[in-house]
Amino acid sequence: MYDVFKSDENLFNNSMTFFIETNDLKHILEALEKKHFYEAQDKIDISTKKNDLLIWNAIYCREVINKGISKSYLHTIYNKFYNMILNCSKLEQLQNTEIQLVSSYLNVLINDMEVTENFMINKMLQYLHLHIEEHVSVERIAHDLNISEGYACSCFKKNMGISLMKYAKKIKIDRAKKLLITTNKSMLELSVILGFYDQSHFTKTFKSFVGLSPTEYRNKNYF
Each residue's pLDDT tens digit, 68-97: 665 555 777 888 899 999 999 999 999 999
**Position 125 in a domain:** no
**Mean pLDDT for the chain overall:** 84
Is the per-residue pLDDT at 11 higher than 80?
Answer: no
**Domain assignment of residue 52, yes or no:** yes
Is residue 195 domain-resident?
Answer: no
Q: Total structural domains in the chain?
A: 1
Is 167 a domain residue?
Answer: no
Which has the higher per-residue pLDDT, 213 or 18?
Answer: 213
Q: Name the residue range of residue 37's domain.
A: 1-110
For residue 183, tell me if it sits in a domain.
Answer: no
- Does residue 140 lie in a domain region? no
Is position 16 within any domain? yes
State the Cα–Cα distance between residues 69 and 156, nearest whole angstrom. 20
- Separation between Cα atoms, residue 196 and residue 191, nearest integer Å: 5
Average pLDDT of 116-128?
Answer: 79
Cβ neighbours, 10 Å, residue 93 = 15
Would you say residue 98 lies in a domain?
yes
Q: How confident is the model at residue 115 (pLDDT cuts 50, 70, 90)?
A: low
> Region 46-74: what's the mean pLDDT?
81
